[in-house]
């Protein structure tokens, strides 16, 4: 099967590409290699994928460029699209809200239109747990009201979900929307907490801790996320939204202790006030994904942090 993976050079995208190739599919990765973080990190991801010597092609391009997308879909008959490309991160979205709307909303419209015009019937799109905002009910369920986004990033992901439903309703596209919960593991973006804390603790530098350390996240290991993504490609849903998380919460103070133990070093804490746009907790109800996808996360945080630390040490040796 021919797959297009947007954001295919990034953290989650590169792992998805690898697993699709191992399953015998042909894969095209589409990514603009923007400087949100060092583009060489994405190029390294691409080299790892290319080392598999499987039917893989990489196209540099921007999802806000209609002409580039039209040319890509005209050149290849894609059977499925996995849309992971986006401007990511809550805090950066506070500084560049218009950019986040342009890439995450306009770019998603462009992709859906290109897919529709070329006859693609099945598309899997990445959303985020951030759409739940400050949700009084935990764990978060797909049926919860989601009209309380507290960051431009979350708002852009909400808009993407709405667009996915529009294209299903109007054009009969099979659409799965995946709400990812704090994904971590090898190749994780350097700006995300686990990678950032590991790097700073390893170097003996202070780590910024916003709040009193009691904020909690549902950290989900990359291999579990990929299994959920691939499960969506094997079924038809019409239109469905799925939480993909570990369904366990870890307080920030405990997360830091786990990283300290994995590195054998103590953290220097730089305590700072809570940041605008941050939520106090994320916690996934994954009963729907379990029932419909056979989704069953396997990597607990204790093991996952050890695996990440091993990867970090190896990649920075």
* CATH classification of the domain holding 51: 3.40.50.720
Question: What would the two tokens of residue 55 be?
Answer: 């039917």
Q: In terms of residue numbers, what domain contains 242?
A: 2-181+220-247+279-298
Residue bearing tokens 């699709």: 20
Out of 8-17, 75-84, 91-100, 208-217, which region has the weakest mean confidence (pLDDT)? 208-217
**Closest by CA position to 102, among listed 152, 164, 161, 42:** 152
> What band does 275 get if pLDDT is binned at 50, 70 and 90?
confident
Question: Does 150 reside within a domain?
Answer: yes
Q: Are 277 and 93 in contact (CB under 8 A)?
A: yes
Question: How crowded is residue 52: how many other Cβ atoms within 10 Å of its Cβ?
Answer: 12
What pLDDT does residue 75 have? 96
Alpha-carbon distance 223 to 187, whole Å? 12
Alpha-carbon distance 128 to 156, whole Å? 10
Using the predicted structure, report yes or no on whether residue 265 has a pLDDT greater than 80: yes
Question: Does 166 reside within a domain?
Answer: yes
Alpha-carbon distance 56 to 249, whole Å? 37
What pLDDT does residue 146 have? 85
- Across the range 100-128, mean pLDDT stands at 98
Using the predicted structure, report yes or no on whether residue 112 has a pLDDT greater than 80: yes
Question: Does 210 reside within a domain?
Answer: no
Question: Does 96 reside within a domain?
Answer: yes
- What's the pTM? 0.96
Using the predicted structure, report yes or no on whether residue 210 has a pLDDT greater than 90: no
**Closest by CA position to 155, among listed 130, 180, 125, 126:** 130
- Structurally, how many domains does the chain consist of? 1
Tens digit of each residue's pLDDT (9 = 90 or more) over 35-85: 999 999 999 999 999 999 999 999 999 999 999 999 999 999 999 999 999
Alpha-carbon distance 29 to 46, whole Å? 9
What pLDDT does residue 284 have? 97
Question: Does 144 reside within a domain?
Answer: yes
What pLDDT does residue 34 have? 95
**What percentage of the chain exceeds 90 in pLDDT?**
89
Tens digit of each residue's pLDDT (9 = 90 or more) over 188-205: 999 999 999 999 999 999
Question: Does 54 reside within a domain?
Answer: yes
Alpha-carbon distance 149 to 161, whole Å? 13
Residue bearing tokens 């366990």: 248
Active site residues: 153
**Closest by CA position to 34, among listed 22, 42, 45:** 42
- Across the range 13-19, mean pLDDT stands at 98
- Across the range 4-16, mean pLDDT stands at 98
What pLDDT does residue 280 have? 84
Tens digit of each residue's pLDDT (9 = 90 or more) over 276-307: 777 888 999 999 999 999 999 999 999 999 99
Residue bearing tokens 């709405």: 162
Using the predicted structure, report yes or no on whether residue 141 has a pLDDT greater than 90: yes
Q: Average pLDDT, whole number, for the chain?
A: 95
Question: Does 199 reside within a domain?
Answer: no
Question: What would the two tokens of residue 132 be?
Answer: 């739940």
What pLDDT does residue 135 have? 79
Using the predicted structure, report yes or no on whether residue 172 has a pLDDT greater than 90: yes
What pLDDT does residue 274 have? 79
Question: Does 191 reside within a domain?
Answer: no
Q: Tell me the Ramachandran region of residue 202: left when phi exceeds 0, alpha when psi lies from -120 to 50, beta otherwise.
A: alpha
Alpha-carbon distance 208 to 106, whole Å? 34
């Amino acid at each position: 099967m021919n797959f297009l993976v947007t954001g295919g050079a990034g953290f989650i995208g590169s792992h998805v590409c690898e697993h699709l190739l191992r399953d015998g599919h042909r894969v095209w990765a589409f990514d603009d290699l923007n400087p949100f973080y060092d583009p060489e990190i994405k190029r390294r991801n691409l080299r790892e994928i290319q080392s598999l010597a499987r039917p893989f092609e990489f196209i540099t391009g921007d999802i806000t460029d209609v002409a580039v997308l039209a040319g890509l879909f005209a050149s290849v008959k894609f059977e499925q699209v996995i849309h992971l490309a986006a401007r990511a991160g809550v805090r950066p979205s506070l500084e560049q809200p218009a950019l986040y709307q342009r890439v995450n909303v306009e770019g998603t419209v462009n992709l859906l239109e290109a897919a529709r015009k070329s006859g693609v019937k099945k598309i899997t799109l990445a959303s985020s747990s951030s759409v739940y905002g400050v949700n009084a009910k935990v764990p978060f369920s797909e049926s919860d009201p989601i009209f309380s986004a507290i960051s431009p990033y979350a708002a852009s992901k909400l808009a993407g979900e709405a667009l996915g439903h529009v294209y299903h309703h109007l054009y009969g596209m099979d659409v799965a929307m995946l709400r990812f919960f704090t994904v971590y593991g090898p190749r994780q973006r350097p700006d995300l907490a686990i990678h950032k804390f590991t790097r700073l603790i390893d170097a003996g530098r202070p780590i910024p801790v916003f709040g009193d350390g009691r904020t909690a996240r549902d950290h989900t290991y990359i291999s579990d996320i990929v299994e959920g993504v691939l499960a969506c490609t094997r079924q038809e849903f019409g239109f469905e939204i799925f939480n993909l998380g570990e369904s366990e919460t870890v307080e920030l103070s405990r997360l830091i202790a786990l990283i300290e133990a994995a590195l054998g070093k103590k953290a220097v804490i730089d305590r700072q006030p809570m940041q605008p746009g941050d939520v106090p907790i994320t916690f996934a109800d994954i009963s729907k994904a379990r029932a419909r996808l056979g989704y069953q996360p396997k990597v607990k945080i204790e093991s996952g942090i050890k695996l990440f630390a091993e990867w970090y040490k190896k990649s920075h040796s």
